[in-house]
Amino acid sequence: MIVYLHGLNSAGSSGKAAFLRQALPGIDVISPTYPAHSADLAVARLTDELSRLLAERASVDEPRLLVGSSMGAFYGAWLAERLGFHHLLMINPALQPWQLLKQVVGWQLNEALNQGYFLSSRMVSDTRRYHTPAEALGVPTTVLVDKGDELIDYRVAREVYGDRVTMHCFEGGSHTFEHMHDAVAIIEQIHQSF
């Protein structure tokens, strides 16, 4: 089983979730929609939904991978060990959203849901509560970054995680992450290793 957590201004129906489903037809890919802009609500909703899902599948002997993109990777780091996942994969992770999101405080449009919302300074600072330092990652972790990410400098991830994670740095790309074919091969290999 793979749980995919989308980033800010996205949804469970995102392109990456659809790509994973299509590329990995033999693996259940679950991709909940949650309010990524509101840390407390996001963590509460994901904890509730994923705890219920994992309890329902407790009798199924399967690898449990948590894949998160950007803010989904940030929340994934907080949730992976707490909920009993076997491996965490972070795609272009938002490592310090309390700094990154300061520049976009104000009205936002989540085009995936066709919904507007106001991102307040408090919502941005609330993300600090869910920061998971590299040394506190409780499950094996793989980080995939595009060197061309225009929002998050890939070198920060390399600096933050060092040799505590398996890291794949891809030439070019963007924050959208242009290397999903490569990511699928890595995810499939990890899934098969359990």
Question: Does the structure show a pLDDT above 90 at 35?
Answer: yes
Task: Report the CATH number at residue 83.
Answer: 3.40.50.1820
Q: What is the DSSP string of 92-139?
A: S--S-HHHHGGGG-EEEEETTTTEEEEE-HHHHHHGGGG---GGG--S
Lowest mean pLDDT among 4-13, 154-163, 165-174, 184-193: 154-163
Give pLDDT tens digits for 70-120.
Answer: 999 999 999 999 999 999 999 999 999 999 999 999 999 998 899 999 999
Question: Does the structure show a pLDDT above 90 at 166?
Answer: yes
- What total of structural domains would you count in the chain? 1
Give pLDDT tens digits for 134-157.
Answer: 999 999 999 999 999 999 999 999
Highest mean pLDDT among 57-61, 123-127, 154-158: 123-127
- The range of the structural domain enclosing residue 72 comes to 2-192
pLDDT > 90: percent of the chain = 91
pLDDT, mean over the chain: 95
Q: Beta strand 87-91 with 65-69: parallel, antiparallel or unpaired?
A: parallel
pLDDT at position 12 is 94
